[in-house]
Structure 1
Amino acid sequence: MSDSPFLSLPGAVADEGLDAGVAAHYGSPLREQRLLAAGEAVVDLSNRSVLAVTGADRLSWLDSMTSQRLTGLAPGQAAETLFLDPSGRIEFDVHALDDGVTTWLIAERDEAEGIVGWLDKMRFMLRVEVADRSDEFAVVGYLDAAIEAPARTVVQAASPDGVELRWADVWRGVEAGGHQYAHTDDHPASRWPWVEAIVERSELEALARRAAAGEVVLAGSLAAEALRIEAWRPRFGREVDDRSIPHELDWLRSAVHLTKGCYRGQETVAKVHNLGHPPRRLVLLHLDGSESVFAAPGDVVSVERDGELRAVGTVTSSAIHHELGPIALAVVKRNTDAEATLLVAAQDTTIAASQEVIVPSDAGAAVDVPRLPRLGAVTRG
């Protein structure tokens, strides 16, 4: 995967860590957020992986191993699906798009080798082939805030088999067979018309030249992250750790089909949803910015109890939002009081934070199991 040409543009500041290889911003992160939200800017996601699965059995094969129903996926139709381990923990997340010939998978940069390795082991005698196409194709993101959004018109999506490769984020609504835990009629995802366009990697050079000429507006990864957090949208590279199950992140709404049949980890998904509760839950934090110290992924979240700080979770994503100020996503213990002020240990100080509940403490236990009379109890008619 070659270096992004956007990093050589004036004002570009390279990101680090998970988003290394692309620009964090181009000199004005908050302005870039506003332009991105309005559908006027595009985001370099060329550090993401682009995988291709071909062959007549590709959709039924992927369907049999992952959490979302993929059989019958129409050309151009987007989907999101999770690879789970036998205990239901999340191993990989992919954004899937089929063009009638190939199923294209967009994943985090560091996921590619693991996904390809796993899929190659599971081919058996089926008519499927898996390839990492990241050297030929790249990803550009934007918010399709209007039918004629400027960002959409400047991004030339690849169409190797006659179908434009534009993955429209399914997080915007609850997918068929899915379930939403968040108790709200005004989910912020409805204002998240996110699109990831797969482009020929050579197209990045053309976009960079147009940006240098003022014909294309760019936003950095900081802008995209702030708007993603506002939308409560989980990201594999941020919200997932080695214990994560889909329920904790409200990921049943977009990436899990609850009635499609067996796949690895399906028993845990069904058991937690129908009979139990996820052990942790995702929250949005509104952080006190008065100290000019901001939270970062990995910072410990605590509550004060009996005069002591007791850890209840961890910040997973954080940003400065152009309207909301400092915000973060965090995963906390299920029984953490939803009304409690949380305290985030950031650098050498403690930041107070109020919670906005995403996954409530009563998530799960969807099946109404009748209570049987206690053995020996007297019942009256």
Structure 2
Amino acid sequence: MAFNSPSPLLSLPGAVAAEGPDEGVAAHYGDLFKEQRALADGTGFVDLSHRGVITVSGEDRLSWLHLLLTQHVSDLPSGRATEALVLSAHGHIEHALSLVDDGSTVWIHTEPGAQESLLAYLESMRFFYRVEIADRTEEFAVVQLPAGSIAEPPEGATVRETAYGRDLFLPRAELRSFAEAYGPPAGVLAHEALRVEAYRPRIGMETDHRTIPHEVGLIGSAVHLDKGCYRGQETVARVQNLGKPPRRLVFLHLDGSEVSVPVHGDAVRLAEEGEEGRKLGFVTTSARHHELGPIALALIKRNVPVDARLIAGPEATAAAQEVVVAP
């Protein structure tokens, strides 16, 4: 059964529960833009305790994962963070893993609710390898200290340090005491706004059942092009050599005069053709940014000109694009 216990931090003053894929943690604590500015300034933290946590231990853990993942991890140094994908046989993205090895165990966090299917896949591929795989979601929670934070992680926490902040794997029972020591927290809406600003795709938001890594800019960061065979590698190699993924991720500056902003799944169209014109793609994530105003990521057809005037959503909101993945 999936772990669905809400975060204890939802009882903090001002906490408003998130919906959709982030259900179980706070969307915000009363002031979205203040929370964004705090994270941008390197203060506070984000409660990501709804994310799934899996550990892989045993002496074959890295060499075994190397065979399954898109990333080169066979000689991953202890403490170095990386990202990896699990692809289908046709090269479509199934799972995204944020991982770090602590010298004896690989700690992984993944999208909320995805840990069960990921665990089932890993278990099915264990064979004779000396590995132990465990779902640790009920025991451990993920929180993130923002980039630039000078706060020292609590003793005993496993730390995954990236350019975007430090992910901490904490005993779930310590979440409340962590918040008292490291607060005030920021909600996931602030975290998502900064993610959109940084052009960072999220599995399940910027992807659908047929997304391949090239479309969303994950080559390099999560896909290593010079490693051995893994499931879906043929598609990655073919697209890399031909250079023609069918779609591409774009960043959108949205018209700030509109009351509402387009949401996930809303159509993106050519402005010249109007609201009922040809659909070019869809909005993947939208946000209200404390400096940039309304912004979004979208997945559109590769051959859409980079200077094309776009509209998004049912209100035909004007959307100026910035290139994330080159056509």
How would you bin the TM-score normalised by the shorter chain?
Answer: over 0.9
Tell me whether 1:203 sits opposite 2:196 in the alignment.
no
> Which whole-Å CA distance do the structure 1 matches of 2:294 and 2:254 have between them?
5
**What residue is the counterpart of 1:295 in the other structure?**
262
Tell me whether 1:321 sits opposite 2:289 in the alignment.
yes
Where does 1:24-35 land on structure 2 (aligned, <5 Å)?
24-35=27-38
> Which whole-Å CA distance do the structure 1 matches of 2:114 and 2:277 have between them?
36
Tell me whether 1:90 sits opposite 2:58 in the alignment.
no
> Which whole-Å CA distance do the structure 1 matches of 2:222 and 2:59 have between them?
23
> Which whole-Å CA distance do the structure 1 matches of 2:247 and 2:113 have between them?
25
Tell me whether 1:143 sits opposite 2:143 in the alignment.
no
CA deviation vs aligned residue, 1:232-271 (integer Å, no higher than 9, x gap): 0111131111010000011003001101121111111011
Deviating runs (4+, > 6 A) in structure 1? none
CA contact (8 A) 2:272 2:309 kept: no
Note closer, same or farther for the CA distance 1:109–1:158 as it changes in structure 2 (3 Å cut): farther
**What residue is the counterpart of 1:228 in the other structure?**
195
Structure 2 unpaired stretches of 5+: none
Secondary structure of the residue that 1:18 maps to in structure 2?
helix
> Which whole-Å CA distance do the structure 2 matches of 1:330 and 1:292 have between them?
20
The worse-fitting range, judged by mean Cα deviation, of 306-315 and 241-250 is: 306-315
Which of 298, 307, 319 does residue 353 from structure 1 map onto?
319
> Which whole-Å CA distance do the structure 1 matches of 2:46 and 2:271 have between them?
40
Secondary structure of the residue that 1:62 maps to in structure 2?
helix
CA contact (8 A) 2:159 2:167 kept: yes
How far does residue 17 in structure 1 lie from its aligned partner after superposition? 0.4
How far does residue 209 in structure 1 lie from its aligned partner after superposition? 3.8
- Number of aligned pairs? 323
TM-score, normalised relative to structure 1: 0.82
CA contact (8 A) 1:81 1:94 kept: yes
Secondary structure of the residue that 2:106 maps to in structure 1?
strand
CA contact (8 A) 2:123 2:133 kept: yes
**What residue is the counterpart of 2:216 in the other structure?**
249
CA contact (8 A) 2:179 2:185 kept: no
Which of 133, 136, 161 does residue 168 from structure 1 map onto?
161
How far does residue 109 in structure 1 lie from its aligned partner after superposition? 1.5
How far does residue 72 in structure 1 lie from its aligned partner after superposition? 0.8
How far does residue 195 in structure 1 lie from its aligned partner after superposition? 2.1
Rg: which structure is higher?
Answer: 1
Secondary structure of the residue that 1:268 maps to in structure 2?
helix
CA contact (8 A) 2:263 2:313 kept: no
CA deviation vs aligned residue, 1:287-308 (integer Å, no higher than 9, x gap): 0021212111111111145666
How far does residue 157 in structure 1 lie from its aligned partner after superposition? 6.0
Tell me whether 1:77 sits opposite 2:80 in the alignment.
yes
Secondary structure of the residue that 1:204 maps to in structure 2?
helix
Which of 195, 204, 221 does residue 237 from structure 1 map onto?
204
Note closer, same or farther for the CA distance 1:310–1:237 as it changes in structure 2 (3 Å cut): same
> Which whole-Å CA distance do the structure 2 matches of 1:291 and 1:126 have between them?
56
Which of 151, 155, 165 does residue 194 from structure 1 map onto?
165
How far does residue 144 in structure 1 lie from its aligned partner after superposition? 2.5
> Which whole-Å CA distance do the structure 1 matches of 2:184 and 2:75 have between them?
37
> Which whole-Å CA distance do the structure 1 matches of 2:303 and 2:247 have between them?
8
Which one-letter code corresponds to 1:284 in the other structure?
A: F
CA contact (8 A) 1:157 1:197 kept: no
Tell me whether 1:265 sits opposite 2:263 in the alignment.
no
CA deviation vs aligned residue, 1:176-203 (integer Å, no higher than 9, x gap): xxxxxxxxxxxxxxxxx32211111122
